[in-house]
Structure formats: structure tokens, C-alpha cells
Structure 1
């Protein structure tokens, strides 16, 4: 019975997102967002989560507020378009603000790390990947105010770097990392939609790889990370390479979408934005490297009694693709 209701609400959540991204009117897009919201609340209320009621309630209140602001702006835009054509920019800004609140972009981000802190790893994965699709595609349809978008991009990259600096919870670190990647995805939307799609797919694959390891070992804090990964050098190496890839270091696949975004920004003369993005992302990269070097180089005792969770062939195959993907991408793109 438990699995049946989870499957039902999971399918309903996917259905809501698909309604949103395939609709032709703003009202049906709003309906799709509401179906998506009402479907994920039972999934967040699962007993396996640390604080199921608290996380579900925080998420519901925030998303309901964003939905009401979005509906308000949609109704106003339908009524005022004939009478006040100059007010459309203001309404677009209200609509985009509601979508940014749904997305968790700074400065509307305060709910996102708090909600993730009370969830299991697979629910965190849903929040960091699938739940970003619908709001981002709506922003993609409505990406007209360049200055407003630039301010959101800068806020997201600055806040995520500074606030993620002193965290010891891996869920909060990945939440602030997600906010940082949101800023890069929004920057990719300014001129090229295809770059956003590539960025989102690669980000989802890398996050999926990291979350699988953390879920298998039930690691939630940095102190657990240092002790748990010592049992298998291969899993430790794979995990650290995925963290480097998430940070965007050049030999790995995570560098490829950032390379595309920087190239796109520079070719469209957004020089200052690209410089600020790179500089403030270095703060995020610093705490990735701090985690990775501590885990890799601190000499702790390895025990033979500890049972290592078995990681199957599919896991290592996906990780091999992730780690060697940059070489494949550069070779493929040379032929275009």
C-alpha cells in the first residue's frame, strides 16, 4: 500500500511538471505547478525523513505564497494589458519574482536549505533536480528583464558562496551549491536556451552520483564523511571526483557547461557578469576542495570489520561517463 501511494503521487508530480512546460496559457501553467506542489507534499511527509512534517509544511507555505503571487500577476496582466501597456514590465518582474521564489534563487532562497535539512537523500535529489524544471522553463519563456535577471544571478552566486562557507551539514552544502548552479543556469538563459538544457542535464547527473553514495552510506554530516568512506578507496575516489566535477574543475564534465556559459556571456559582451560569476564561484569551489582534501588526505584507521555497501556495475559505469565526459564532449563538438 505504501509503495502504491508513493508511485501514484510520484506520477502525479511528473504529470504536473509536464502540464506546466507544455501549456500555451499562463493559467494552465499555474494549474500544472499546483498539481506538482500537491503531489510532492505526501512524498515529503514520509517517515524516513528527519523532520517530515516541518519540511513539508515549510515547503507548502512557501510554494503556496509563490503560487498566489504568480496567479495575482497573471490576472493583473490579463486585465491591465489593454489599459496600461507600460506596466507590463512591472508585472513581468512580479511574475519572475514568484518563479524565483518557487525555484529557490537568492534573495528568495531562505526556505530551500531549511527544507532540505529535514529530508532523506532521495527527496533532496527530487528537490534539487526535478522541482527546478517547471519554474526554470517558465522563466525561460518570460526572460525579458535583463537587469532584473543579472541582479538575481549576482545575488545567487554571492549568497551561496558566503552562506555555504561554514556549513557542516552536507544537505545544506548541496543546497547552497544548488543555488550557485541556479545562478549559472539563469546566466545561460540570457541568450541561449540549449546551453541551459545541457547545463541542467549535466548538473542532474553529477548530483545523482553524489546523492547515491551519500544515501548508501547514510552520510549527512562532514564528520561522518571522513569516517565512512575509508572502507573503500574506489568509492572514496569516485565520490571526490564527482565533487570536483560539481565544482567545475577543468578535467571533469562539470567544467563543460560552465565553459559554454562563459563563452556565451563573453560573446554577448557580458564581461563584468562573467568575471563576477567566476570570482564568486571560486568561494563555492573552495569549500568543495576543503571537503575533498580533508576526506582524501586525513589519515584515519581502516577497519576490516566494517561491511562495505556494495555498489553495482551501473553506478561505476555512470561515474565513468561523468568523469570522462569532458573529453567525449570536446571530441564530439569538434565535428560540428
Structure 2
């Protein structure tokens, strides 16, 4: 069977439908089974579309298999009425799910894989593959552990992402920072978590598809887009959005999360996360600088005419990226 047919018939439907099957599961064993199904469906993506597929596939399999083993073992132990050890079992189940998501201090495998995979696999790993662990974490979590991991994720992502030229590593640390907000949201409200995750996935999708199209891996490669004004504008405002800069679309998901978290959690933690999110703006600044310098020597009237001639598809996504969808807050509230 050809590779494309195998991926189209078996793998892609399996990886797309597994999170939806998981939401209808009513036992820890069925959740574990769907996790393994999702694991085995992502490995062909790694094998078929990456240069270092042997190392990446083995590393991903070992990490996910170990965390799945912890998950199924301690979830079975929960069925036994050891009330003195219930807290320990809950913590171990949480740790197994956090390892699957790549949260600090278990993030090294996630950064390494993101730095060695192609853009489409990076998109899947940073968004779609986090759905099942996060929904599983909603069923049983320790509040103080989530507070600790969220604070640690915010701090490490804001500090470790400052000195990198690789855009894949920058996107990785950005994903960890957004993951800290998603972890806080899933404790408070499933609706705010869904809105935040959906918004992040849309913005991430729009950025990675363009980076994949032009095969951009490092910051200095943005100069290759010097004559492509459409893509420069599109990438610039999408990076503004993912960094949470108002009045971009990405700011609305942070704004709604801050309003909800302000009413339901410890204020110092929220303030710390806001400060750390502001620091992530610094490692996006180098990307902004490279993109803005592409317009430095351009005749502004020519640039305006090129901007008017955008095709309809680019105009639509540019509009979505630039303006906040403030109407989304109506049904949230």
C-alpha cells in the first residue's frame, strides 16, 4: 500500500477521531486505550515526514509508553480503597498526563522533538496531541500541583526562550507558556479552556502553515520574504496575535482567561503569570524586528497598493488576525 493511501485511509482519520472518542469514555482503561491508539497513529507522521525519524520515533514512543504505564497502573490502584494513598495515586496520574503534554520539568523531550521535526508535525504535537491528556486531567487533578506546574511553565518558558534563533524552539517555549494558561483554565471552566485552546490552535495553524510553505526555520531566513509584502504583513500580525498584544485576536483569549481566573484563583499567581507572559514578548521582538526591517527601504505608496491587491483568502485571515473577536465574550459570559 502506498504511503499516501495508508496515511489517508488509516492514520489521519485515527488521529482526528481519537480525542472525540476519548470524551465519550467512561473508564480509565478506555481512556488509556485511546491514548495508546493516538500514540500509534502519530508515530507514522514522525516516520514518514522527518529526516531523523528513527531517533524521534523511538524517543516519542519511550516517553509516551512510560507515562502511559504510570497512568494505567495508578488508575487501577485507585480502584482499591487505599484511602491513605489516594493523594499519592492522584499525583502520579497527574504526573503521567503532564509528562505526555511536555510541561516543565518534563519538557526536554518536547523541545528536542519540536526542534527536529517538520512544521506539520510540530503543529500536531503542540496542539492536537495535547487534547487527550488535558481532558483526562479535567477528570482528576490536584489543584496545588497544577498551580506549581503552571507557575513553573510560565517562568521557564519566558526565560529559556530568550536566547534562541530557531523559530521551532521559540514556538515550543511559546506553546509551554500557553499551556500554563490552559492548565489554569481547565481547573476553573471547561468553556474558557475550550475557547483558549481553539484560539491558540487557529493562530498557531496560520503561522505554521506559512512557515512550512516558505521553509523558514530560523529568524534570519525572514529576509528571504523581503519582496513578499503579503506574507510579511500576515506573519507579523499573527506573531503580534500569538504574543497576546492588544488589539489582536490573541489578546482576547488572555483577557477572558484573566477575567475568569481573577475571580477563582490566588491573585499573586495570576499576576506572576501575566508578568511572565509579558516577558515572552521579548523573544518575539527579534522576529518583529526582522519583519519590520523588510519594509524599511520600501516606498510606502507602493506598499499600500500591494496591500490593496491582496487576494480574498489572505484578506480574510488578515482581518481575523488583526481584530479581536470581542463578540466571543458575549457567549462566554
Q: Aligned match of 1:202 in 159, 182, 199?
A: 199
Return the offset for 1:146: 1.2
User: In 2, are the aligned partners of 1:18 and 1:32 still within 8 Å (CA)?
Assistant: no
SS in 2 for 1:218: coil
User: In 2, are the aligned partners of 1:54 and 1:118 still within 8 Å (CA)?
Assistant: no
TM-score normalised by the chain length of structure 1 = 0.90
Q: Give the root-mean-square deviation of aligned CA atoms.
A: 1.9
String of CA shifts for 1:155-182, please: whole Å, max 9, x gaps: 1111111111111111111011101000
The within-5 A match list for 1:293-304 is 293-297=289-293
Return the offset for 1:328: 4.2
Q: Aligned match of 2:185 in 183, 188, 193?
A: 188
Specify the alignment match of 1:68 in structure 2. Answer: 69
Specify the alignment match of 1:271 in structure 2. Answer: 267
User: In 2, are the aligned partners of 1:169 and 1:220 still within 8 Å (CA)?
Assistant: yes
String of CA shifts for 1:57-116, please: whole Å, max 9, x gaps: 21111111111111111121122x2xx213212111100000000011111111001111
Specify the alignment match of 1:15 in structure 2. Answer: 17
String of CA shifts for 1:10-33, please: whole Å, max 9, x gaps: 112223333322200000000000
Runs of 4+ in 1 over 6 A off after TM superposition: 299-302
Specify the alignment match of 1:104 in structure 2. Answer: 102
CA distance in 2, matches of 1:296, 1:106: 33
User: In 2, are the aligned partners of 1:160 and 1:177 still within 8 Å (CA)?
Assistant: yes
CA distance in 2, matches of 1:50, 1:163: 26
User: In 2, are the aligned partners of 1:205 and 1:322 still within 8 Å (CA)?
Assistant: no
CA distance in 2, matches of 1:269, 1:165: 28
CA distance in 1, matches of 2:57, 2:265: 42
CA distance in 2, matches of 1:39, 1:327: 37
Return 5+ residue gaps in structure 2 as ranges.
299-309
Q: Aligned match of 2:217 in 212, 215, 220?
A: 220
Return 5+ residue gaps in structure 1 as ranges.
303-310
User: In 1, are the aligned partners of 2:226 and 2:295 still within 8 Å (CA)?
Assistant: no
2:318 maps to 1:319: yes
Specify the alignment match of 2:307 in structure 1. Answer: none
CA distance in 2, matches of 1:299, 1:16: 44
CA distance in 1, matches of 2:18, 2:187: 26
Q: Evaluate the alpha carbon distance shift between residue 117 and residue 333 of structure 1 in structure 2; reply closer, same or farther with a 3 A threshold.
A: same
Specify the alignment match of 1:126 in structure 2. Answer: 124
CA distance in 1, matches of 2:117, 2:313: 25
